[in-house]
Copies of this chain bind each other. A is one copy, B any other.
Amino acid sequence: MKRILFFYTILLVGCQQRSNETYEKSENLHHPAKKVVLNGLNHPWSIAFLSEEQALISEKDGNLLKVNLQSKEKSIVKGFPKDLTDSIRAYSLGDNSGIFEVLIDPAFKENQWVYFSYAAKRKGEGRTTKVVRAKLENDSLHNHQTLLVAEPFAREYFHFGGGMVFGPDGKLYVTIGERLFWERDNPPIPHAQDISDKRGKIYRINSDGSVPEDNPDFGPDGVPGVYALGIRAAQGIAVEPKTGNIWFSEHGTIQGDEVNLLSAGANYGWPNVTSGKLRSSDYTPPKLDGVTFTPPVWFWPHTVAPTGLTFYTGDDFPAWRDNLIVPGLSRGSLWRFRIENDTIKSAEELFIDDRVRIRKARQSPSGKFYILTDEDDGKLIQIIPNNDTNSYKK
């Protein structure tokens, strides 16, 4: 009632156009709709905006693309490393291999560095996650530098990780999965708990691949660059703009899908503790003395397969401001979390009647909000306020 009074008051003082705009914005706060911007993408994994119109899109089962959101043009970026694993389509249902994250350098305009992660192969040994940077000139990559190789190369084709983000400290944070499907395939000290094993960790490296001096100290056996351990299959990783906190998603087994807050030196517990269940009912993790496990901030009691999360800071949905948006693969979910400090206050599942496997949520430089769908005919979809709703018009 007050709102309506206000609305008419404004009309009287001559602010008609802008007051209408505000009125409509309030009206649509919770009425998001989808607008397909691009289709025909081959299981897109990530997007890095070069501008509002131009972006790089990594296709898990395809190529690194340069796209124009206006003209809809797509071109394959030349010069992608040749050791991209060619087994992508060797299994009828596909596997976790492919191209993963793509990022541009915070100073891209000056230095043209593009960062990407992918499943690399080595003949006779198998594959693993590799992080490379190269300079983008027009549609071609040059001056390649390998920043991280999560050895050993191995035959398992799951849980590569490959999520990356630049922290507020300018360092590159990288998630590397533990590669196993069954926990029983672990050695006596599980990959993710073995500080001398590169798998199942989160890394913090300089943008040239060197190790920052202020990284946590895991002792003489610690793999260089490790920042946290006990990771199963983290993919999404994002900086909370308001606080500089880094959050990451973690795939559980049947349950155990989690959202975690990254902390230097923390051990997130896999496979010794999990908010879900182990796949291998016959597996008992080893007793690890003197180890403190960091619990997730959030876990779901059902499977979501949370992945490329992000924080919302746009103008289209004021009520979402600073909220964590978590897309999910397995239920086709899009979740919105309101966070205060390190506490989740509320959790909303969006598009319940319009589910589609989502790999990544991202904002354009101006704050437009996009998702990438994990499909054979994958799509870049903008989430826009829906102006067709009638809920206030009565």
Contacts and interface: CB of A to CB of B under 8 A. Distances in A.
Given A15-B15, A26-B26, A352-B347, A321 B6 contact: no
Given A25-B3, A319-B319, A349 B352 contact: no
A168 B349 CA distance: 31
B29 A3 contact: no
B353 A344 contact: yes
Given A13-B14, A18-B6, A25-B3, A242 B394 contact: yes
Given A1-B315, A315-B2, A338-B30, A343 B347 contact: no
A261 to B, nearest CB: 14
A383 to B, nearest CB: 12
A18 B315 CA distance: 21
A222 to B, nearest CB: 35
A111 interface: no
Interface string A1-41: 11100100110011100110110011001110000000000
A170 interface: no
B347 A30 contact: no
Task: Find the residue from A6, A9, A25, A242 having the highest chain B CB count within 10 A.
Answer: A6
A28 to B, nearest CB: 9
Contacts of A30: 319, 338, 346
A21 B1 contact: no
Contact of A10 (B15, B301, B343, B351): B15
Interface string A200-220: 000000000000000000000
Interface residues of A, number: 44
User: Looking at chain A's contact residues, is the secondary structure mostly helix, strand, loop, or mixed?
Assistant: mixed
A391 interface: yes
A244 to B, nearest CB: 13
B351 A349 contact: no
Task: Find the residue from A9, A242, A336, A391 having the highest chain B CB count within 10 A.
Answer: A391
A318 interface: yes
A300 to B, nearest CB: 9
B338 A343 contact: no
A19 to B, nearest CB: 8
A348 interface: yes
A15 B18 contact: no
B348 A347 contact: yes
Interface in A310-363: 315, 318-319, 321-322, 336, 338, 340, 343-353
A19 B5 CA distance: 12
A91 interface: no
The 4 closest A-B pairs by CB, nearest first: A348-B348, A301-B302, A29-B319, A6-B18
23 contacts: A1-B315, A3-B25, A6-B18, A6-B19, A9-B15, A10-B15, A10-B18, A13-B13, A13-B14, A15-B15, A25-B26, A30-B319, A30-B338, A302-B302, A343-B353, A344-B353, A345-B350, A345-B351, A345-B352, A346-B348, A347-B348, A347-B352, A348-B349
